[in-house]
Amino acid sequence: MSGADLVFLVIAGVLAGITGTVGLASLVSYPALLAVGLPPLDANVTNTVALVCIALGAVGGSRPELVGQAPRVLRFGALTLVGGSAGAVLLLTTPPGAFRLAVPWLIAAAGVLLALQPRLVRRGTGTLDEHGPPIRLAVLGVGVYLGYFGAGGGVAMLAVLALTLPEPLARVNAVKTVSSGFANLLATIIFAFSGPVHWAAAGPLAVGLLAGGYAGPAIVRVAPATVIRLLVAVAALGLAVWLGLDAYGAR
């Protein structure tokens, strides 16, 4: 890996960390790993390892929003931790070819979910008991998805939490970012021993993600979130088409 690749990954990590505050990180960091030559499965595993640093950065950058929410973060984080480990095992025990065929559809679904995010959040805000089985199962399911792939998982987590937390969106978003990090934590440990992690790529990407995760909350508070969301959604759909053509042999 060249010096230019390392710099590129740091910059991509910063951008992914910033956009990760609104659930878009993997839609920036995963393509960046593909761009430096990693195969899809290797890029996904390496990306999951590096993504732990977003949650670490967000803990510092989202302190005002996290005040009084430690029990929620731990409760939802425990569910995503279990789900994330299950997703990681699923990824490593299914054929790599199956993942390659699934990725275009997962990214396309993430792009659609991004485009619909405000409607999903607005429609459901605070309507379900945060301690109830439906929410626990939904958070666990999102954790499985985050451990298996993850692109768009932050958006799904935000939509789920918005169904139950009667809080301003910024506070819900902070819980989402840190809780989602638990899904990557145990998955990272599993991948470190059993997965094709490219540490030379994971290191610079993680540095950028840590910086972006810390700066993200302050930037997103004033940034045009709608413009960012729609641009990334369109890019996700384009990436899904490109990867689909490659995976299904039409390119």
136 vs 131 pLDDT, higher one: 136
- pLDDT-derived band at 234 (thresholds 50, 70, 90) equals confident
247 vs 49 pLDDT, higher one: 49
Spatial separation of the C-alpha atoms in residues 191 and 174, rounded to whole Å = 26
* Amino acid 57: pLDDT: 81
* Amino acid 161: pLDDT: 81
Residue 134 corresponds to which tokens in the numbers above? 């439906």
- pLDDT-derived band at 251 (thresholds 50, 70, 90) equals very low
Contact assessment for residue 239 and residue 33, using Cβ atoms and an 8 Å cutoff:
no
Which of 14-28, 36-50, 75-89, 171-185 is predicted least confidently? 14-28
Spatial separation of the C-alpha atoms in residues 107 and 145, rounded to whole Å = 12
What per-residue string of b and e applies to 217-236 under the rule 16 or more CB within 10 Å gives b?
beebeeeebeebbeebbebb
Model confidence pLDDT, tens digit, residues 184-232: 888 888 888 888 899 999 999 999 999 988 887 777 667 666 776 677 6
Residue 243 corresponds to which tokens in the numbers above? 């990867």
Whether 72 shows a pLDDT value over 80: the answer reads yes
Contact assessment for residue 114 and residue 59, using Cβ atoms and an 8 Å cutoff:
no
Amino acid making up residue 136: R
Spatial separation of the C-alpha atoms in residues 206 and 186, rounded to whole Å = 16
Whether 124 shows a pLDDT value over 60: the answer reads no
Closest C-alpha to 170, from 110, 219, 114: 219
**Mean pLDDT of the residues in the chain:** 82
Spatial separation of the C-alpha atoms in residues 24 and 101, rounded to whole Å = 21
Residue 23 corresponds to which tokens in the numbers above? 């659930």
- pTM of the predicted model as reported, rounded to 2 decimal places: 0.76
